[in-house]
Structure 1
Amino acid sequence: MRTTIGTHDYGWGIVISFTKRKSRNQAQFSDHESYIVQVFVNTMYVDSPVNLIKPMNPNLVDGIRPAKKGEKARSEVIPITLDSVKSISSCRSILPNDINNKQARKTLNKALKEIIKRFPDGIPLLDPINKMHIEDDQFKLLLRKIEILESKLYSNPLSQSPRLTELYQAYAKKVAIQENIKATEQKVTEVQSVIQLDDLKRRTRVLKRLGFISENEVVELKGKVACEIMLL
């Protein structure tokens, strides 16, 4: 299983177990939050405060993260919800009886590395139709839509461009500037509306003093005559 928690990508891991979350009020959990999955990963930053990980709490504290390039990593079991599952592989591994045993973790870590090494072109994904025998028509339709969108995505020259991150950041900056321009223009419009409103109040006050309109801002006969004279 490939695991991503927020912006942290832990890469491929091994599912140890899963548990349905118990709550007096089941409505507080979405479908993705209703299960806790324990995943064994070997990409945890070696100095992460893993002692603060709680088996049934998927909200990991700050500082718990995968190792960056050049940093040392360690293996650890982390609790996640289903929305952190990025991909599911068809590969399987024999689990030790006691995952907390140091030697058992070394063995599992070695097995995980061997699986990744065995598939340099990418670990095979689990086919939900052929392997899991899901026959729901709506599910098949969603899979087809995903295939179409992914084919369009990967056919775009930018998808494999080494400048993708750079170009994305530049585009995001452009969008932010455009949004700032729109917000500024909106403020200018609001200020102009206030100025025009004040100007309108002054003009209305003058028209009342001249007797062209009533106190209720209804055009009087004098005002109508003035309008006709202006049109001549």
Structure 2
Amino acid sequence: MNPYIFEFIGTAMLILLGNGVVANVVLKNTKGSNAGWTGISLAWGIAVFCGVFISADVSGAHLNPAVTIGFALAGKFSWTLVPGYFISQVLGAMMGNLLVWLTYKKQYDNTTDPSAILATFSTSPAVRNPLWNFVTEVIGTFTLVFGVFFIAGGNFANEPISLGSLDALPVALLVMGIGFSLGGPTGYAINPARDLGPRIMHMLLPLKNKGKSDWEYAWIPILGPLLGGSIAAFVFMGIGF
């Protein structure tokens, strides 16, 4: 079975369920408008669980370029597979948000707040400050990737590692914890594909009242997670694994 296809499918499921709950909470005329941050964080954990469980046994369920590059830097994943994983993850994220849009088409049509519409695609900061928003994404992604190293069995030196289906729950709980604890400042992208793919779809789709796609901010949820994942790899190697 093709690992790229399963990275695509897993990431699509991740975004469908993850940004699907955001749409349910923030768009007009839905039945989930009172769920709030607790509902969003819980549902993103479930989204991660489903995406990882579906793709783990074939692709290792990275679903995130920061995880992919972290594993590669640590010598636990082949660099030759990295570009294909990146592309599959971004395309999967685009597909997932396309499905969110199709699901909530009438709610999108009735929503007049451009920031609410953008929130169902990509992240934005609560307080816009590029430096500190970047730091937040670095810390959040470091926490994710460092935890994933150990969940995936990274304590076995000199052996390749990947997530298996049994790792879906602990990874989901880790992401849920990051959402509750560290997600407030920026909406915790902690995944370049999670932000980039949907932002591209926001730009392309014929959304009413959608406003700008905020590309001025887009580098932060891309480069911040890549740096955070890289730091996690170097710390992981530095402590002896």
Q: Same fold (TM over 0.5)?
A: no
Which has the larger helix fraction? 2
Structure showing greater relative contact order (alpha-carbon pairs closer than 8 Å, 6 or more residues apart): 2
Which of the pair has more CA radius of gyration? Answer: 1
TM-score by length of 2: 0.22
Which has the larger strand fraction? 1
TM-score by length of 1: 0.22
